[in-house]
Structure 1
Amino acid sequence: MALLHRAEIRPTKLELLATWLPGRRWFHGPAGTEPVRVAGFRFDDPAGEVGIETILVRAGDGPVHQVPLTYRGAPLAGADGWLVGTTHHTVLGPRWVYDGCGDPVYAAALADAILAGTGQAREFFEVDGERQYREPSMTVAATGTGDAPAPAVGAPRRVVDADPALILTDAVELVVRRRLDGDGEPAGAFALTGTWPDRPTPVPLAYATPR
Protein backbone atom coordinates (compact mmCIF):
# COMPACT_ATOMS: atom_id res chain seq x y z
CA MET A 1 0.00 0.00 0.00
CA ALA A 2 1.25 3.48 -0.89
CA LEU A 3 -0.04 6.22 1.40
CA LEU A 4 0.05 9.55 -0.41
CA HIS A 5 -0.22 13.06 0.97
CA ARG A 6 -2.08 16.02 -0.47
CA ALA A 7 0.88 18.35 -0.48
CA GLU A 8 2.83 20.79 -2.62
CA ILE A 9 6.19 19.71 -4.02
CA ARG A 10 8.68 22.32 -5.16
CA PRO A 11 10.17 21.86 -7.63
CA THR A 12 7.66 19.38 -9.00
CA LYS A 13 8.69 15.97 -10.28
CA LEU A 14 8.16 17.05 -13.87
CA GLU A 15 10.25 20.17 -13.30
CA LEU A 16 13.08 18.00 -11.99
CA LEU A 17 12.77 15.69 -15.00
CA ALA A 18 12.73 18.62 -17.43
CA THR A 19 16.24 19.46 -16.25
CA TRP A 20 17.54 15.92 -15.77
CA LEU A 21 16.20 13.99 -18.77
CA PRO A 22 17.97 15.94 -21.56
CA GLY A 23 21.29 14.86 -20.07
CA ARG A 24 20.47 11.15 -20.41
CA ARG A 25 21.94 9.41 -23.46
CA TRP A 26 18.80 7.32 -23.84
CA PHE A 27 16.38 10.26 -23.84
CA HIS A 28 14.75 11.20 -27.14
CA GLY A 29 12.67 14.36 -27.41
CA PRO A 30 12.60 17.79 -29.06
CA ALA A 31 15.02 20.26 -27.51
CA GLY A 32 13.40 22.68 -25.10
CA THR A 33 10.17 20.67 -24.83
CA GLU A 34 9.09 19.90 -21.29
CA PRO A 35 8.00 16.34 -20.49
CA VAL A 36 4.36 15.58 -19.73
CA ARG A 37 3.10 12.74 -17.59
CA VAL A 38 1.47 9.85 -19.44
CA ALA A 39 0.81 7.41 -16.57
CA GLY A 40 2.52 5.89 -13.55
CA PHE A 41 2.53 3.23 -10.86
CA ARG A 42 4.14 2.55 -7.49
CA PHE A 43 5.80 -0.27 -5.60
CA ASP A 44 5.80 -0.81 -1.84
CA ASP A 45 8.93 -0.49 0.26
CA PRO A 46 8.42 -3.15 2.98
CA ALA A 47 10.35 -0.93 5.41
CA GLY A 48 8.08 2.03 4.67
CA GLU A 49 11.02 4.41 4.33
CA VAL A 50 11.46 4.93 0.58
CA GLY A 51 8.87 6.08 -1.93
CA ILE A 52 9.06 4.08 -5.17
CA GLU A 53 7.27 5.48 -8.20
CA THR A 54 7.63 4.80 -11.91
CA ILE A 55 6.48 7.65 -14.16
CA LEU A 56 5.86 7.39 -17.89
CA VAL A 57 6.58 10.69 -19.63
CA ARG A 58 6.75 12.06 -23.15
CA ALA A 59 8.33 15.21 -24.55
CA GLY A 60 6.62 16.58 -27.63
CA ASP A 61 6.22 13.92 -30.30
CA GLY A 62 9.00 11.79 -28.82
CA PRO A 63 8.54 8.26 -27.48
CA VAL A 64 7.14 7.39 -24.08
CA HIS A 65 9.94 7.05 -21.53
CA GLN A 66 9.84 4.93 -18.39
CA VAL A 67 11.46 6.73 -15.44
CA PRO A 68 11.63 4.85 -12.12
CA LEU A 69 12.17 7.21 -9.19
CA THR A 70 12.82 6.76 -5.49
CA TYR A 71 12.13 9.39 -2.84
CA ARG A 72 14.23 9.47 0.31
CA GLY A 73 14.31 11.60 3.44
CA ALA A 74 18.12 11.65 3.45
CA PRO A 75 20.86 11.20 0.83
CA LEU A 76 21.66 7.66 -0.31
CA ALA A 77 25.35 6.99 0.35
CA GLY A 78 27.41 6.47 -2.78
CA ALA A 79 24.56 7.35 -5.15
CA ASP A 80 25.40 10.92 -6.16
CA GLY A 81 25.59 9.86 -9.79
CA TRP A 82 21.96 8.71 -9.66
CA LEU A 83 20.55 11.83 -8.02
CA VAL A 84 17.82 13.45 -10.12
CA GLY A 85 17.51 16.39 -7.73
CA THR A 86 16.14 17.55 -4.40
CA THR A 87 12.69 18.86 -3.69
CA HIS A 88 10.63 20.10 -0.76
CA HIS A 89 7.46 18.29 0.25
CA THR A 90 5.14 20.40 2.43
CA VAL A 91 4.29 17.36 4.59
CA LEU A 92 7.46 15.25 4.52
CA GLY A 93 10.04 18.01 4.20
CA PRO A 94 13.19 17.74 2.06
CA ARG A 95 13.27 14.79 -0.32
CA TRP A 96 16.16 13.40 -2.31
CA VAL A 97 14.95 12.04 -5.65
CA TYR A 98 16.99 9.29 -7.35
CA ASP A 99 16.89 7.38 -10.60
CA GLY A 100 15.51 4.09 -9.28
CA CYS A 101 17.94 2.04 -11.37
CA GLY A 102 20.71 3.12 -8.99
CA ASP A 103 18.73 2.50 -5.79
CA PRO A 104 18.85 -0.97 -4.15
CA VAL A 105 15.32 -0.53 -2.75
CA TYR A 106 13.92 -0.16 -6.28
CA ALA A 107 15.90 -3.19 -7.49
CA ALA A 108 14.46 -5.35 -4.69
CA ALA A 109 10.91 -4.12 -5.33
CA LEU A 110 11.18 -4.74 -9.07
CA ALA A 111 12.52 -8.26 -8.52
CA ASP A 112 9.66 -9.01 -6.12
CA ALA A 113 7.09 -7.63 -8.57
CA ILE A 114 8.36 -9.84 -11.38
CA LEU A 115 9.55 -13.03 -9.68
CA ALA A 116 7.11 -13.21 -6.76
CA GLY A 117 4.18 -11.46 -8.41
CA THR A 118 3.78 -8.80 -5.72
CA GLY A 119 2.61 -6.33 -8.37
CA GLN A 120 2.01 -2.64 -7.94
CA ALA A 121 1.04 -0.89 -4.72
CA ARG A 122 -2.53 0.16 -4.03
CA GLU A 123 -2.58 3.93 -3.63
CA PHE A 124 -4.46 5.82 -0.93
CA PHE A 125 -4.82 9.45 0.11
CA GLU A 126 -5.34 10.17 3.80
CA VAL A 127 -8.01 12.87 4.17
CA ASP A 128 -9.25 13.97 7.63
CA GLY A 129 -8.01 10.73 9.16
CA GLU A 130 -9.67 8.54 6.52
CA ARG A 131 -7.97 6.71 3.68
CA GLN A 132 -9.39 7.22 0.21
CA TYR A 133 -8.46 4.85 -2.60
CA ARG A 134 -6.98 6.37 -5.77
CA GLU A 135 -7.57 4.59 -9.06
CA PRO A 136 -4.27 3.78 -10.79
CA SER A 137 -3.45 5.49 -14.07
CA MET A 138 -1.96 2.25 -15.40
CA THR A 139 -1.84 -1.44 -14.55
CA VAL A 140 1.20 -3.70 -14.41
CA ALA A 141 1.34 -7.49 -14.42
CA ALA A 142 4.05 -10.12 -14.19
CA THR A 143 4.44 -13.13 -16.48
CA GLY A 144 5.88 -16.46 -15.44
CA THR A 145 5.86 -15.71 -11.71
CA GLY A 146 6.45 -18.48 -9.19
CA ASP A 147 4.95 -19.16 -5.78
CA ALA A 148 8.17 -18.60 -3.85
CA PRO A 149 9.45 -15.19 -2.72
CA ALA A 150 12.04 -13.53 -4.92
CA PRO A 151 15.65 -14.12 -3.86
CA ALA A 152 17.27 -11.53 -1.62
CA VAL A 153 18.55 -9.07 -4.21
CA GLY A 154 21.18 -7.25 -2.20
CA ALA A 155 23.05 -4.17 -3.37
CA PRO A 156 23.57 -3.72 -7.11
CA ARG A 157 27.07 -4.81 -8.14
CA ARG A 158 26.90 -3.10 -11.51
CA VAL A 159 24.42 -0.76 -13.15
CA VAL A 160 24.53 0.20 -16.83
CA ASP A 161 22.74 3.48 -17.51
CA ALA A 162 21.50 2.82 -21.02
CA ASP A 163 18.38 1.75 -22.89
CA PRO A 164 17.64 -0.74 -21.63
CA ALA A 165 19.19 -0.19 -18.21
CA LEU A 166 20.92 -3.21 -16.69
CA ILE A 167 21.03 -3.87 -12.94
CA LEU A 168 23.26 -6.75 -11.83
CA THR A 169 23.21 -8.14 -8.29
CA ASP A 170 24.50 -11.39 -6.82
CA ALA A 171 21.03 -12.95 -7.04
CA VAL A 172 19.28 -11.48 -10.07
CA GLU A 173 19.79 -9.62 -13.35
CA LEU A 174 17.23 -6.89 -14.02
CA VAL A 175 16.59 -5.15 -17.33
CA VAL A 176 14.54 -1.92 -17.43
CA ARG A 177 13.32 -0.52 -20.74
CA ARG A 178 13.76 3.26 -20.87
CA ARG A 179 11.99 4.01 -24.16
CA LEU A 180 8.69 2.26 -24.71
CA ASP A 181 8.52 2.82 -28.45
CA GLY A 182 6.93 -0.19 -30.12
CA ASP A 183 4.97 -2.88 -28.34
CA GLY A 184 7.79 -5.39 -28.20
CA GLU A 185 7.50 -8.93 -26.95
CA PRO A 186 8.40 -10.20 -23.48
CA ALA A 187 11.96 -11.52 -23.86
CA GLY A 188 11.97 -14.47 -21.49
CA ALA A 189 9.73 -16.08 -18.92
CA PHE A 190 9.97 -13.41 -16.24
CA ALA A 191 8.71 -10.00 -17.35
CA LEU A 192 6.74 -7.02 -16.10
CA THR A 193 4.24 -5.58 -18.57
CA GLY A 194 2.07 -2.49 -18.39
CA THR A 195 -1.10 -1.12 -19.93
CA TRP A 196 -2.52 2.40 -19.81
CA PRO A 197 -5.41 4.15 -21.59
CA ASP A 198 -3.40 4.91 -24.75
CA ARG A 199 -1.82 1.43 -24.81
CA PRO A 200 -4.38 -1.29 -23.99
CA THR A 201 -2.06 -4.01 -25.30
CA PRO A 202 0.52 -5.06 -22.66
CA VAL A 203 3.90 -3.37 -23.20
CA PRO A 204 7.04 -5.01 -21.74
CA LEU A 205 8.54 -2.75 -19.06
CA ALA A 206 11.24 -4.86 -17.40
CA TYR A 207 12.69 -8.36 -17.14
CA ALA A 208 14.26 -10.40 -14.33
CA THR A 209 16.58 -13.38 -14.55
CA PRO A 210 17.66 -15.21 -11.36
CA ARG A 211 21.42 -15.82 -11.31
Structure 2
Amino acid sequence: MTGWGMATVHATTMAPTKLELLTGWLPRQPWYRGFGTPALSRAGGFRLDDPAGEVGIELMLVSDGTGAGATTYFVPLTYRGAALDGADAGLVGTSEHGVLGTRWLYDAEHDPVASAQLLAFVAGAVEAQHQSESDTLDPTVGRSWTGDGQPRAVELVRVPEPGVPTAGRGAVEVDWTRPDGSTARGVVAVAR
Protein backbone atom coordinates (compact mmCIF):
# COMPACT_ATOMS: atom_id res chain seq x y z
CA MET A 1 0.00 0.00 0.00
CA THR A 2 1.23 3.46 -0.79
CA GLY A 3 -0.14 6.90 -0.12
CA TRP A 4 -2.36 8.00 2.74
CA GLY A 5 -3.67 5.11 4.79
CA MET A 6 -4.34 4.27 8.39
CA ALA A 7 -1.00 2.48 8.47
CA THR A 8 0.55 5.94 8.21
CA VAL A 9 2.39 6.40 11.48
CA HIS A 10 2.72 10.05 12.48
CA ALA A 11 5.82 11.26 14.30
CA THR A 12 3.90 13.28 16.86
CA THR A 13 2.63 13.28 20.42
CA MET A 14 -0.49 11.96 22.09
CA ALA A 15 -1.70 13.38 25.40
CA PRO A 16 -2.40 11.33 27.37
CA THR A 17 -0.24 8.62 25.81
CA LYS A 18 -1.57 5.15 24.97
CA LEU A 19 0.35 3.65 27.91
CA GLU A 20 -1.10 6.28 30.27
CA LEU A 21 -4.64 5.45 29.10
CA LEU A 22 -3.99 1.71 29.39
CA THR A 23 -2.59 2.15 32.93
CA GLY A 24 -6.02 3.32 34.09
CA TRP A 25 -8.05 0.93 31.90
CA LEU A 26 -6.19 -2.37 32.31
CA PRO A 27 -6.85 -2.98 36.05
CA ARG A 28 -10.62 -2.80 35.36
CA GLN A 29 -10.47 -5.77 32.96
CA PRO A 30 -11.48 -9.24 34.20
CA TRP A 31 -8.35 -10.83 32.70
CA TYR A 32 -5.93 -8.43 34.45
CA ARG A 33 -3.57 -10.46 36.65
CA GLY A 34 -1.79 -7.67 38.51
CA PHE A 35 -2.49 -5.71 41.66
CA GLY A 36 -2.73 -1.96 42.01
CA THR A 37 -1.43 0.37 39.32
CA PRO A 38 0.37 -1.37 36.44
CA ALA A 39 3.90 -0.35 35.40
CA LEU A 40 3.51 -0.71 31.63
CA SER A 41 6.06 -0.83 28.84
CA ARG A 42 5.63 -1.48 25.13
CA ALA A 43 6.34 -5.09 24.18
CA GLY A 44 5.38 -5.28 20.48
CA GLY A 45 2.48 -5.44 18.11
CA PHE A 46 1.38 -4.69 14.56
CA ARG A 47 -1.24 -2.74 12.64
CA LEU A 48 -4.03 -3.57 10.23
CA ASP A 49 -5.49 -1.18 7.66
CA ASP A 50 -9.10 -0.08 7.61
CA PRO A 51 -10.05 -0.27 3.89
CA ALA A 52 -12.19 2.86 4.36
CA GLY A 53 -9.23 4.75 5.85
CA GLU A 54 -11.23 5.96 8.86
CA VAL A 55 -10.17 3.75 11.78
CA GLY A 56 -6.64 3.18 13.04
CA ILE A 57 -6.11 -0.41 14.19
CA GLU A 58 -3.08 -1.16 16.38
CA LEU A 59 -2.75 -4.61 17.93
CA MET A 60 -0.44 -3.85 20.88
CA LEU A 61 1.36 -5.96 23.42
CA VAL A 62 2.36 -4.36 26.71
CA SER A 63 4.26 -5.75 29.67
CA ASP A 64 3.35 -5.03 33.26
CA GLY A 65 6.25 -5.19 35.69
CA THR A 66 9.87 -6.19 35.32
CA GLY A 67 11.91 -9.36 35.39
CA ALA A 68 10.52 -12.87 35.58
CA GLY A 69 7.35 -11.67 37.31
CA ALA A 70 6.25 -9.47 34.40
CA THR A 71 2.97 -10.24 32.62
CA THR A 72 2.40 -9.48 28.94
CA TYR A 73 -1.05 -8.42 27.75
CA PHE A 74 -2.52 -8.28 24.25
CA VAL A 75 -4.42 -4.97 24.05
CA PRO A 76 -5.55 -4.27 20.48
CA LEU A 77 -6.79 -0.70 20.09
CA THR A 78 -8.72 1.28 17.53
CA TYR A 79 -8.42 5.03 17.04
CA ARG A 80 -11.40 6.99 15.78
CA GLY A 81 -12.10 10.64 14.99
CA ALA A 82 -15.51 10.44 16.73
CA ALA A 83 -17.19 8.30 19.35
CA LEU A 84 -18.37 4.85 18.20
CA ASP A 85 -22.11 4.45 18.84
CA GLY A 86 -22.95 1.59 21.18
CA ALA A 87 -19.33 0.92 22.19
CA ASP A 88 -19.13 2.81 25.49
CA ALA A 89 -18.10 -0.39 27.30
CA GLY A 90 -15.02 -0.61 25.07
CA LEU A 91 -13.85 3.01 25.41
CA VAL A 92 -10.30 3.13 26.75
CA GLY A 93 -10.23 6.94 26.70
CA THR A 94 -9.67 10.00 24.54
CA SER A 95 -6.37 11.56 23.62
CA GLU A 96 -5.15 14.64 21.78
CA HIS A 97 -3.14 13.58 18.74
CA GLY A 98 -0.63 16.18 17.55
CA VAL A 99 -1.68 15.81 13.89
CA LEU A 100 -5.19 14.33 13.85
CA GLY A 101 -6.76 16.06 16.86
CA THR A 102 -8.99 14.31 19.38
CA ARG A 103 -8.96 10.52 19.06
CA TRP A 104 -11.33 8.09 20.74
CA LEU A 105 -9.42 4.93 21.69
CA TYR A 106 -11.38 1.69 21.95
CA ASP A 107 -10.62 -1.86 22.96
CA ALA A 108 -10.63 -3.38 19.45
CA GLU A 109 -12.79 -6.28 20.65
CA HIS A 110 -15.69 -3.77 20.73
CA ASP A 111 -14.98 -2.28 17.28
CA PRO A 112 -16.58 -4.00 14.26
CA VAL A 113 -13.97 -2.60 11.86
CA ALA A 114 -11.14 -4.19 13.84
CA SER A 115 -12.99 -7.50 14.15
CA ALA A 116 -13.61 -7.63 10.39
CA GLN A 117 -9.99 -6.83 9.58
CA LEU A 118 -8.65 -9.42 12.03
CA LEU A 119 -10.88 -12.06 10.41
CA ALA A 120 -9.65 -10.93 6.97
CA PHE A 121 -6.04 -11.19 8.17
CA VAL A 122 -6.50 -14.76 9.43
CA ALA A 123 -8.11 -15.68 6.09
CA GLY A 124 -5.15 -14.23 4.16
CA ALA A 125 -7.11 -11.35 2.59
CA VAL A 126 -5.06 -8.52 4.20
CA GLU A 127 -1.48 -8.16 5.41
CA ALA A 128 -0.06 -7.14 8.78
CA GLN A 129 1.56 -3.71 8.83
CA HIS A 130 4.60 -2.70 10.89
CA GLN A 131 3.64 -1.15 14.23
CA SER A 132 5.83 1.95 13.96
CA GLU A 133 6.76 2.36 10.27
CA SER A 134 4.37 3.76 7.67
CA ASP A 135 3.37 1.65 4.67
CA THR A 136 5.62 -1.25 5.71
CA LEU A 137 4.50 -4.87 5.91
CA ASP A 138 5.38 -6.92 9.00
CA PRO A 139 6.20 -10.45 7.83
CA THR A 140 6.95 -11.63 11.40
CA VAL A 141 3.22 -11.78 12.22
CA GLY A 142 2.12 -15.36 11.62
CA ARG A 143 -1.32 -16.57 10.65
CA SER A 144 -2.87 -19.95 10.03
CA TRP A 145 -6.30 -21.08 8.91
CA THR A 146 -7.18 -24.75 8.35
CA GLY A 147 -10.95 -24.34 8.20
CA ASP A 148 -13.19 -24.18 5.15
CA GLY A 149 -14.07 -20.74 3.82
CA GLN A 150 -13.72 -17.67 6.01
CA PRO A 151 -13.27 -17.84 9.79
CA ARG A 152 -16.46 -16.76 11.57
CA ALA A 153 -15.03 -15.53 14.85
CA VAL A 154 -11.73 -14.58 16.43
CA GLU A 155 -11.15 -14.89 20.16
CA LEU A 156 -8.42 -12.68 21.62
CA VAL A 157 -5.79 -14.23 23.89
CA ARG A 158 -5.39 -11.38 26.37
CA VAL A 159 -2.48 -12.95 28.30
CA PRO A 160 -0.41 -14.77 25.67
CA GLU A 161 2.00 -17.47 26.78
CA PRO A 162 5.00 -18.55 24.68
CA GLY A 163 4.64 -21.96 23.10
CA VAL A 164 0.98 -22.56 24.04
CA PRO A 165 -0.69 -24.18 21.01
CA THR A 166 -3.91 -22.93 19.49
CA ALA A 167 -7.18 -24.74 20.15
CA GLY A 168 -8.97 -23.36 17.09
CA ARG A 169 -8.78 -23.92 13.36
CA GLY A 170 -6.62 -20.85 12.95
CA ALA A 171 -4.48 -18.43 14.88
CA VAL A 172 -2.45 -15.22 14.88
CA GLU A 173 1.06 -15.55 16.32
CA VAL A 174 3.46 -12.70 17.12
CA ASP A 175 6.80 -11.91 18.71
CA TRP A 176 7.12 -9.64 21.72
CA THR A 177 9.97 -8.32 23.82
CA ARG A 178 10.07 -9.15 27.51
CA PRO A 179 11.21 -6.51 30.02
CA ASP A 180 14.62 -8.25 30.25
CA GLY A 181 15.14 -7.76 26.49
CA SER A 182 14.58 -11.40 25.48
CA THR A 183 12.03 -12.25 22.80
CA ALA A 184 8.98 -14.46 23.14
CA ARG A 185 6.50 -15.72 20.52
CA GLY A 186 2.95 -16.85 21.09
CA VAL A 187 -0.66 -16.90 19.95
CA VAL A 188 -2.65 -13.68 20.47
CA ALA A 189 -5.86 -14.66 18.65
CA VAL A 190 -7.64 -17.93 17.91
CA ALA A 191 -9.96 -18.27 14.90
CA ARG A 192 -13.03 -20.52 14.76
Q: How high is the TM-score relative to the length of structure 2?
A: 0.83
Cα distance, 1:110–1:79 mapped onto 2, change above 3 Å:
same
**Over residues 89-126 of structure 1, what are the superposed CA-to-partner deviations in whole Å (9 max), with x where a residue is unaligned?**
0100000000000000010011011122523124676x
The answer for the alignment partner of 1:107 in structure 2 is 115
Segment of structure 1 superposing worse, 108-117 or 39-48: 108-117
Q: Tell me the secondary structure at the aligned position of residue 70 of structure 2.
A: coil
**Over residues 120-174 of structure 1, what are the superposed CA-to-partner deviations in whole Å (9 max), with x where a residue is unaligned?**
124676xxxxxx66696x93111136897x47xxxxxxxxxxxxxxxxxxxx122
The answer for the alignment partner of 1:34 in structure 2 is 39
Give the deviation of 1:207 after TM superposition: 1.6
Residue type of the partner of 1:82?
A: G
1:15 and 2:20 correspond: yes
Segment of structure 1 superposing worse, 25-34 or 51-60: 25-34
Cα distance, 1:123–1:41 mapped onto 2, change above 3 Å:
closer
Q: Tell me the secondary structure at the aligned position of residue 3 of structure 1.
A: coil
2-side partners of 1:106 and 1:118: how far apart?
A: 12
The answer for the alignment partner of 2:4 in structure 1 is none
Give the deviation of 1:42 after TM superposition: 0.5
| RMSD (CA atoms) | 2.5
List runs of 5+ in structure 2 lacking aligned partners: 2-6
Please tell me whether the aligned partners of residues 29 and 62 of structure 1 are also in contact (alpha carbons under 8 angstroms): no
1-side partners of 2:148 and 2:8: how far apart?
A: 27
Return the match for 1:71 from 75, 79, 90.
79
Cα distance, 1:109–1:133 mapped onto 2, change above 3 Å:
closer
1:177 and 2:157 correspond: yes
List runs of 5+ in structure 1 lacking aligned partners: 126-131, 152-171
Give the deviation of 1:33 after TM superposition: 3.2
* Aligned 1:1-211 pairs, distance under 5 A: 1=1, 2-60=7-65, 61-116=69-124, 118-122=126-130, 139-144=140-145, 150=150, 172-197=152-177, 198-200=182-184, 202-209=185-192
% identical equivalent positions: 41
Residue type of the partner of 1:194?
A: V
Give the deviation of 1:208 after TM superposition: 1.7
Please tell me whether the aligned partners of residues 116 and 147 of structure 1 are also in contact (alpha carbons under 8 angstroms): no
Higher strand fraction (1 or 2): 1
Segment of structure 1 superposing worse, 52-61 or 188-197: 188-197
Aligned residues: 180
